[in-house]
Amino acid sequence: MEGASAQTEKIGELSRLATLAAERILETQITDHRLPRDLFTALVSAAQILEEHNAPLPPLVEQVLYEAGKRFSEADAAGEATDRDPEGDGVVATLTRFLSGFRRGERGVRPGEQ
């Protein structure tokens, strides 16, 4: 089955790219640079695709998404407004739904816990 093999290879490559995106996000946080919105959106999209294909999330990807989920939750609790750019409302809604599972710990073991 060449098709299944090709799909497995693509999922592996997506997992690798998601890890690279997570590394870049951590780098921007460490260096206090602004996080490119497209980079974070790409990471979330990659994580969604991996989950749709029942592929495990790389540990670093899960950690970055868990931390993002906590920050979204803290912002919600503080009553802070999220991105109010009308063009970005769909993106924010999608991210919020996806990250809600991470902030509640529904996506498995929290990073650092075992």
36-89, pLDDT tens digit by residue?
A: 889 988 999 999 999 999 999 999 999 999 888 777 667 666 765 544 554 455
> What does the H/E/C string look like for the chain?
CHHHHHHHHHHHHHHHHHHHHHHHHHHHHHCCCCCCHHHHHHHHHHHHHHHHCCCCCCHHHHHHHHHHHHHHHHHHHHCCCCCCCHHHHHHHHHHHHHHHHHHCCCCCCCCCCC
| CA atoms of 6 and 9, how far apart (whole Å) | 5
pLDDT per position as a tens digit, 8-42: 999 999 999 999 999 999 999 899 888 888 998 89
- Distance (Å, rounded) from C-alpha 10 to C-alpha 105? 28
Predicted structure pTM score: 0.68
